């Protein structure tokens, strides 16, 4: 074996090992950046005005402006039962965001981020009075005041809030569509694809 051949063989062996050595290091670096972005995503979701208003329950003010900012709030308008946590299931779906290693070559290591689709969120956000419908989608496309009136007409109001509105209040409470889950997930699709290490 000539010196040249010996050198080439070592070089090839080292080059073949580089991806494996680098893989764990890069994975570690990527995980840190990914986790930071994921935390940012969850935090931003929990601080969204719609999320905050619903989390505040029956006593919330209409900080999302979806009901014209006047009397009433989304929790009661949608017709949730008192004590129900509508936000928890969405947070669980978002927490499932993960990544996996796709490809390792001499030149690059490729990761794939698995982010939920809007439909995954819509599937865990049923309307309390029509389970096939999603209240989260309704925030984007419109929600009728039906839940509000069904709630009002129940003697033992499910939300624990005696809704005392008349038709006049209902007129003020016409729902205004607002960007929510779809825009949020599309934004983080871009953020994750541009993740800086």
Partner 1 sequence: MKPQYQHKVITSFLLWFDNHLLKKGEAYSNKTGTLHYFDDSRLPDSYKTYSSPYKQWVTDSSIVGSENPIIPTQFMGSGRNDGIIFDFENGRIIETGGSFDTQETITGTFAVKDFNIYLTNETEEDLILENKFVQNSRYNDSENGIKPYDQVVPAIFINSETIQNVPFAFGGEDETRMSIKAVVLAEDSYSLDGVLSIFADSRHENVNIIPFSGHPATEYGDIKNGSYNYTDLINTHKGSEVPLYIEDVVVSKLSDKAQKQSIGDLKVGFIDFDVYQHRFPRL
Interface positions with partner 1 (CB under 8 A): 127-134, 141-142, 144-146, 148-150, 153-154, 170, 177
Bridge partners of residue 113, in order along the sequence:
99
Work out how close the CB of 49 gets to partner 1 at its nearest, in angstroms, rounded to a whole number.
Answer: 20
DSSP reduced 3-state for 113: strand
Q: Name the residue nearer to partner 1 (CB basis): 110 or 117.
A: 117
CA atoms within 13 A on the CB side of 113: 22
Torsions phi, psi for 169 (to 5 deg): -65, -40
Q: Name the residue nearer to partner 1 (CB basis): 66 or 134.
A: 134
Q: Name the residue nearer to partner 1 (CB basis): 27 or 170.
A: 170
Work out how close the CB of 129 gets to partner 1 at its nearest, in angstroms, rounded to a whole number.
Answer: 4
Q: How far apart are CA 41 and CA 39, in angstroms?
A: 5
Q: Name the residue nearer to partner 1 (CB basis): 102 or 132.
A: 132
Q: How far is CA 118 from the centre of its chain?
A: 8
Work out how close the CB of 130 gets to partner 1 at its nearest, in angstroms, rounded to a whole number.
Answer: 4
Work out how close the CB of 121 gets to partner 1 at its nearest, in angstroms, rounded to a whole number.
Answer: 14
Residue 172, both tokens: 């003020």
Work out how close the CB of 158 gets to partner 1 at its nearest, in angstroms, rounded to a whole number.
Answer: 8
Q: Name the residue nearer to partner 1 (CB basis): 97 or 173.
A: 173
Work out how close the CB of 178 gets to partner 1 at its nearest, in angstroms, rounded to a whole number.
Answer: 12
Bridge partners of residue 85, in order along the sequence:
none
64 near 53, Cβ under 8 Å?
A: yes
User: Using a CB cutoff of 8 Å and minimum separation of 24, what contacts does 93-97 make?
Assistant: 93/120, 93/121, 93/124, 94/41, 94/42, 94/45, 94/121, 95/42, 97/38, 97/41
Residue 107, both tokens: 């030149």
Q: Name the residue nearer to partner 1 (CB basis): 61 or 174.
A: 174
């Amino acid at each position: 074996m000539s010196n040249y051949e010996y050198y080439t063989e070592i070089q090839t062996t080292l080059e073949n090992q580089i991806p494996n050595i680098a893989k764990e290091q890069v994975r570690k670096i990527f995980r840190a950046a990914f986790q930071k972005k994921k935390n940012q995503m969850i935090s931003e979701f929990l601080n969204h005005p719609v999320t905050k208003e619903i989390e505040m329950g029956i006593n919330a003010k209409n900080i999302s402006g979806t009901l014209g900012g006047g009397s009433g709030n989304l929790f009661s308008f949608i017709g949730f039962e008192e004590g129900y946590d509508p936000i928890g299931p969405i947070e669980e779906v978002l927490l499932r965001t993960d990544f996996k290693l796709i490809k390792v070559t001499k030149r690059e290591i490729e990761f794939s981020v698995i982010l939920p689709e809007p439909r995954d969120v819509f599937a865990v956000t049923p309307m309390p009075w029509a389970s096939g419908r999603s209240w989260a989608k309704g925030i984007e496309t419109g929600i009728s005041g039906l839940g509000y009136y069904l709630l009002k007409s129940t003697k033992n109001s499910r939300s624990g809030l005696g809704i005392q509105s008349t038709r006049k209040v209902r007129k003020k409470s016409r729902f205004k569509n607002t960007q929510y889950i779809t825009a949020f997930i599309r934004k983080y699709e871009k953020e994750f694809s541009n993740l800086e290490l």
